[in-house]
Chains A and B, each alone.
Chain A
Amino acid sequence: MAWYLATLHNNYPCNNWPNLTILLKYACDCAILKQNSCLVMNHDIHIKGARLAFKDLVLFDQLNFSIQANHTTCILGPSGVGKSSLLRMLAGLEAHSTTISVKNHLSLKQQIAYMGQNDALLPWLSVLNNTLFGYILRRNLTKAYRQQAIDLLQQVGLKEVIHAKPQQLSGGMRQRVALVRTVMENKPVILLDEPFAALDAISKIKLQTLLAQLLRHRTICLVTHDPLEALRLGHFIYVMRGRPAHFAEVIKPQGEPPRAIDDTQLLQLEAKLLQQLTEAQASLT
């Protein structure tokens, strides 16, 4: 708590006596704190001098990259440039020797939830138990988590099928279940690897909106192939290019995600992004 107060003093201008607004703000933040203790902590992630190579193929070397806390960072780029590998490296799934520092000095491993293109739903578990799989695995499932999962499933419109098996669901429904599972993990940092790549356009847009609503204020790193998806969801958009890879100039769309699809700035930025992507494609060959 002392740490929390210290950040308060840094963040908000105040005199020796705390004024009413600060107290109010503190009360609000405490409410969030209660709900999700990790949200208030600063977990900016910094990667310095990252190197990843498979035998002779150097995907990236001396790559510097930061993910700002409580914002969505999108990574685009041509296939094979190493986007997913970077994400897997962050998730601790790829052996590497890079130092990844998190501002709150906690191990990144304990602060992440991951969702991939493959929904990874287990065919022998019901929809409900799939969303609770992390708790089943760690053997710390409580009634409260169960209720939370049921509420979330209701929120995403899957109330009717909580006892169904995943193979009875459509692709969009399965991805919604996977999303709820990711949210249920209750982690501050969310790594998403092309989560909606296999979906049709309409389901995709619906799920993007859902994602932005369910994971608001979390630290998200989203790898995607879809420029529009990045523009709808991202605060910071990077295009990864070249071999060894580096990042092009950051694009920052205005406004809060999820942005409307008819937002005119998105169309302009999409053109810019597509151009960057074309160049990135050319840089690989």
Chain B
Amino acid sequence: MKIYFRGLILFLLLLLIWQGIVWLFHLPAYILPSPFNVAEVFYQQPHLLLHQSIPTLIATILGFSLGTFFGLFAAIIVCLYKPVRNWLLPLLIVSQALPTFAIAPLLVIWFGYGLASKIIICVLMVFFPITSATYDGLRATPKAWLDLATIMGGNKRRKLWHLQLPAALPHFASGIRVASVYAPMGAIIGEWVGASSGLGYLMLNANARLQIDVVFATLIIILVFALVLYFIVDKLMAYLIPWQKIGSV
């Protein structure tokens, strides 16, 4: 309960500072709208916001799920097959060295303005933290456990399934937490670069028309997305890994 209380205090404090700045510098609404202006947007145009949230939400969830799946899959493959590791690892690192913003327009050209390019950008951002963390976890399985399993007659795959994967869960959890914050970002980047709907698209349009209050409303929705996703993932991981004492956030 303490965490919710602290969150609420923090939220109110931020609102207060925001309002304070608006008052103090007499800023017009097209530079910095006050919290009331933004609340007005939520009140007056709920349909618009909801309507544009749905494509972003779908892209985020699909991208996050697919990215997690690919990330986990890549980590297992890289761990199991040494030749694949030597070929795949550099490729994975290269995929991260390319700035997402720079390749996003390319993806839009190749995959169109729809959902596909957003999901791909999202997957690109999400899978690497998961692969990297999970692979580390798989390798960090205590030697004593592996020795025991070897003597007990476990082959490589069974050791992976019964020993290394559960042992890597805490690492995987930290990877997926990072990924859960990246996922909405990936979807928004996709929409910024080129899309026909979504929160990023709405933001871009509103920005061009100096509807800064709409921009802020959109930003708040994105923040809530990211927070809720992180919260769900965090709780899920704590439930799945009861042996690891995770301090609450």
Q: What is A's interface to B at a CB cutoff of 8 Å?
A: 88, 91-93, 109-110, 112-114, 116, 118, 120, 122-124, 133-134, 136-139, 165, 167, 185
Contact = CB atoms under 8 A, between A and B. Distances in A.
Interface of B: 142, 144-145, 147-154, 158-159, 162-163, 166-167, 169, 241-244
A137 B146 CA distance: 12
Nearest to A138: B153
B147 A123 contact: no
A122 B153 contact: no
Chain B interface SS verdict (over half): helix
9 contacts: A110-B153, A114-B147, A120-B142, A120-B148, A122-B166, A123-B243, A133-B152, A134-B153, A137-B163
B243 A112 contact: no
B151 A136 contact: no
A112 B149 CA distance: 12
Nearest to B162: A137
Contact of A124 (B150, B153, B166): B166
B158 A93 contact: no
A114 B244 CA distance: 27
A136 B162 contact: yes
Contacts of A92: 150-151
Given A110-B153, A133-B149, 20 more contacts: A88-B147, A91-B151, A92-B151, A93-B150, A114-B151, A116-B144, A120-B144, A122-B145, A122-B163, A122-B166, A123-B243, A123-B244, A124-B166, A133-B162, A136-B162, A137-B149, A137-B153, A138-B153, A138-B158, A165-B243
Contacts of B147: 88, 91, 93, 114, 116, 120
Contacts of B167: 122
Interface centre among B145, B152, B167, B244 (most CB of A within 10 A): B152
